[in-house]
Structure 1
Amino acid sequence: MNTVLLQAGGGSDFTSFLPIIGMIAIFYFFFIRPQQRKQKETKKYLQEIKKGEMVVTVGGIHGKIVEVSDTTVLVDVDRGTKLLIEKSSISLEASKRLNDTSEKKDKKEKK
C-alpha cells in the first residue's frame, strides 16, 4: 500500500507544474507576441514614411512631412511653421486614423 502512494506522489510533481506552464503560454500568446508584432509594424511604418504624408506625434501635434532623414522628420504644422521631430515620436495608430479619414474625405469630394 505504501508503494502505491509513493508512485502516485512521484507523478504529481509534473502535474503540479502544468498550471505554471499554462500561465506562461497564456502570457506569451496574449501579451508578449502581440507586443512584438506591434513593434515590428511600427518599425516598418517609420522606415517607410515619406514626404507628403500626414502624421500625428505622440504629443498630439498634427502635420505634413516636408523632409525625411535617418532618425528625424521635418513636419509642417501650420503655413510655414516647421518642427524637427524624432521618428520615434510619431504615433502609428493616430497617423493611420488621420490618413484613413483624409482618404475617405477625398473620395467623397471626388463623387
Structure 2
Amino acid sequence: MGDAGGLILPLIFLVALYLLLIRPQQRRQKQHQQLIGSLSVGDDVVTVGGLHGRVVALTDETMDLEVTDDVVMRFQRSSLAKVVRDEILLDEDSE
C-alpha cells in the first residue's frame, strides 16, 4: 500500500502538467494550422516579424506578400501571425 501512495503524487503532477501546459499548446498549434489553411489570395496579414502585407500568391509552403506597390516578398506560411479582418478605420476628418 505504501508503494501505491508514493505513485499518486507523481501521477497527479503529470496530469496537472498535461492540463496546464501540453493541452493548451496543442490547441494553439491546431488553431494556427487552421489559420494557415484558411489563408487565401487578397487577405491582409501580419507576419510573426510584424510585417503587414496583402497575399498575392500562395503555394503549399510559401506566401507572397505585397508590402507596397510593386514590392512583393516571399515568406513561409508558418510565419503567419494573424489575418487582419475588415477593421473599421476611424477617419478624423469626417467629424
TM-score for both structures, normalised by structure 1: 0.74
- Give the Cα separation in 2 of the matches to 1:80 and 1:87: 21
RMSD: 1.6
Runs of 4 or more, structure 1, over 6 Å off, are: none
Q: Quick one: percent identity of the two aligned structures?
A: 27
One-letter amino acid of the counterpart of residue 105, structure 1 = I
Residue 10 (structure 2) pairs with residue 20 (structure 1): yes
Q: What is the aligned partner in structure 2 of residue 79 from structure 1?
A: 69
Q: What is the aligned partner in structure 2 of residue 45 from structure 1?
A: 35
Paired residue for 2:58, among 45, 63, 68? 68
Give the structure with the higher percent helix. Answer: 1
Query: Which protein has greater RCO, CA pairs closer than 8 Å, 6+ apart?
Result: 2
| Larger CA Rg, structure 1 vs 2 | 1
Provide the aligned length of Structure 1 versus Structure 2.
91
Task: Give structure 1 stretches of 5+ with no counterpart.
Answer: 1-10
